[in-house]
Amino acid sequence: MSSVDIVDLHLSFGATKVLENLHLNVAEGEFLVLLGPSGCGKSTLLNCIAGLLDINDGQIFIGEHNVTWAEPKDRGIGMVFQSYALYPQMNVEKNLSFGLRVAGFSKAIIRQKVAEVAHILQIEDLLKRKPAALSGGQRQRVAIGRALVRDVGVFLFDEPLSNLDAKLRTDLRIELKRLHRKLGNTMIYVTHDQMEALTLADRIAVMKNGVIQQLDTPNGIYHRPKNRFVADFVGSPSMNLIQGTLFKQDEEWLFRMHSEATQDEQWVGISLTHYPFTAAPAVGQKVELGIRPEHVILTEKASNSVSSYLFLVDLVEPMGPDVVCWGSVAGEPFKVRVSADFVFKPDTTLMASFDLTRASIFDIETGGRI
């Protein structure tokens, strides 16, 4: 087991800067997920940690060692790839033992280690088969085994489940989590799938354009996104974002939607008394109010609560355990997730009220949370 420290990492391909001034500490035994859209530099970062890409500046520490200039094999890492990358001409046993044979271990030790790993991953029956004769799930298991067998402190996963079908992905995800609990190794896991990130991670680093936007627990990422990008990227269906302006009236902060401003002179906006501000708000500040679809409460009639809007239902999407209804609030697209027993028809109007303790407010210009 070892920690991973990345200090001031810079990487550019020619003139394009891919990673700049990147700092990241991964604690010993932690499961860290790098999450982001494609092209955000997450796989590149993983390749830098593995030593498969030369960096331009900065340092990488694994455990106590500065591995910035070390060869991949000397870094104490094992890696699992999206395409499995099994050696096609070798059977499973030879695939697992390749690294050990390169390192010059004795035959007895190799046999023992391969048997151990095969037992952990339950691939004992497959040892004599060639990769071509395995299913996708079995191949990825062997690929994980190849990383396991090398007895390293850090495992790197580069979108390992992306090539599998949905059901298998869920199964292997749970297996990976179990494996992490059993082995306790440090794991760094790259994915663009937010479900994988939220379920697997101890901490998630959400990346965009080579910059870590937020590094937090899955709970923190989901409920207290640090900026608009994280809020929008994580969550499915994504967070509702309503543009508006902040006001102050009788020491009470209020939010008023842009599109409703002309409709009703009496309407002052929704009260933000219960909203936990993290930065000082300013009067007249242009903001976006973010509310997750499941934090909207739908009622038939207007309640006394000031924080409710008219919600016009347009489309209903039953998801099994719950229902997502798509519609609009004051002309802006809006979606709400409610329990499956909630029965209603399309093209009706309901009252939507927000739980403001669980909302997020972002400054429109900086995109930062306030």
Partner 1 sequence: MRGVTPTTAIGPRGSKPKRILSTRNIVVYGVLTVAAVYWVIPLYVMIVTSLKGLPEIRMGNIFAPPLQITFEPWVKAWDSACTGLSCEGLKVGFWNSVKILIPSTFISIAIASVNGYALSFWKFKGSEVFFTLLLLGAFIPYQVIIYPLVILLRELGLFASLGGIVLIHTVFGMPILTLLFRNYFASVPMELFKAARVDGAGFWRIFLQILLPMSLPIFVVALILQITGIWNDFFFGVIYAGTLNFPMTVQLNNIVNTTQGVKEYNVNMAATLLTGLLPLVVYFISGKLFVRGIAAGAVKG
Q: Which two tokens stand for residue 365?
A: 């210009």
Residue 196 belongs to what H/E stretch?
helix 194-200
Task: Decide: is 89 part of the binding site for partner 1 (CB under 8 A).
Answer: yes
Binding segment (CB under 8 A) for partner 1, from list 2-10, 22-30, 85-93, 317-325: 85-93
Q: Which long-range contacts (CB under 8 A, 24 or more apart) does 327-334 make?
A: 329/240, 329/242, 329/257, 330/257, 330/259, 330/260, 330/263, 331/259, 332/242, 332/243, 332/257, 332/259, 334/240, 334/242
d(Cα 40, Cα 35) in Å, to the nearest integer? 9
d(Cα 136, Cα 170) in Å, to the nearest integer? 14
> According to CB under 8 A, which one of 36, 58, 99, 269 is a site residue for partner 1?
99
Q: Which is nearer to partner 1, 106 or 357 (CB)?
A: 106
> According to CB under 8 A, which one of 82, 194, 240, 307 is a site residue for partner 1?
82
Task: Decide: is 14 part of the binding site for partner 1 (CB under 8 A).
Answer: no
Residue type, 1: M
Min dist CB 34 to partner 1, Å, is 17
Binding segment (CB under 8 A) for partner 1, from list 78-86, 179-187, 243-251, 360-368: 78-86
Task: Decide: is 54 part of the binding site for partner 1 (CB under 8 A).
Answer: no
Min dist CB 353 to partner 1, Å, is 48
Min dist CB 47 to partner 1, Å, is 8
Of residues 32, 367, 33, 38, the one with CA closest to residue 225 = 367
Min dist CB 28 to partner 1, Å, is 21
Q: How many residues touch partner 1 (CB under 8 A)?
A: 25
C-alpha distances out from residue 35 to 24, 58, 181, 254, 301, Å: 14, 22, 21, 34, 41
Min dist CB 194 to partner 1, Å, is 23
Q: Which is nearer to partner 1, 11 or 77 (CB)?
A: 77
Task: Decide: is 83 part of the binding site for partner 1 (CB under 8 A).
Answer: yes
Task: Decide: is 136 part of the binding site for partner 1 (CB under 8 A).
Answer: no
Q: Are 204 and 228 in contact (CB under 8 A)?
A: no
Task: Decide: is 76 part of the binding site for partner 1 (CB under 8 A).
Answer: no
Q: Residue 51: how many CB atoms within 10 A of its CB?
A: 21
Q: Are 85 and 142 in contact (CB under 8 A)?
A: no
> According to CB under 8 A, which one of 81, 229, 255, 309 is a site residue for partner 1?
81
> According to CB under 8 A, which one of 21, 27, 39, 52 is a site residue for partner 1?
52
What x/- string results for residues 138 through 167 when contact with partner 1 is judged by CB under 8 A? -----x--x---x-------x---------
Task: Decide: is 105 part of the binding site for partner 1 (CB under 8 A).
Answer: no
Task: Decide: is 69 part of the binding site for partner 1 (CB under 8 A).
Answer: no
> According to CB under 8 A, which one of 72, 220, 237, 367 is a site residue for partner 1?
72
User: What's 217's DSSP letter?
Assistant: -
Q: Which two tokens stand for residue 339?
A: 């329990």
| Residues in contact with 16: Cβ distance below 8 Å, sequence separation at least 6, in sequence order | none
d(Cα 144, Cα 148) in Å, to the nearest integer? 6
Task: Decide: is 50 part of the binding site for partner 1 (CB under 8 A).
Answer: yes
Task: Decide: is 77 part of the binding site for partner 1 (CB under 8 A).
Answer: yes
Task: Decide: is 87 part of the binding site for partner 1 (CB under 8 A).
Answer: yes
What distance, in Å, lies between the first and last C-alpha atoms of the chain?
A: 38
Task: Decide: is 133 part of the binding site for partner 1 (CB under 8 A).
Answer: no
Q: Residue 208: how many CB atoms within 10 A of its CB?
A: 19
Q: Which two tokens stand for residue 157?
A: 């996963």
Min dist CB 17 to partner 1, Å, is 19
Task: Decide: is 47 part of the binding site for partner 1 (CB under 8 A).
Answer: yes
Q: Which is nearer to partner 1, 103 or 315 (CB)?
A: 103
User: What's 131's DSSP letter?
Assistant: G
Binding residues (CB under 8 A) for partner 1: these are 47, 50, 52, 71-73, 77-79, 81-83, 85-89, 98-99, 102-103, 143, 146, 150, 158
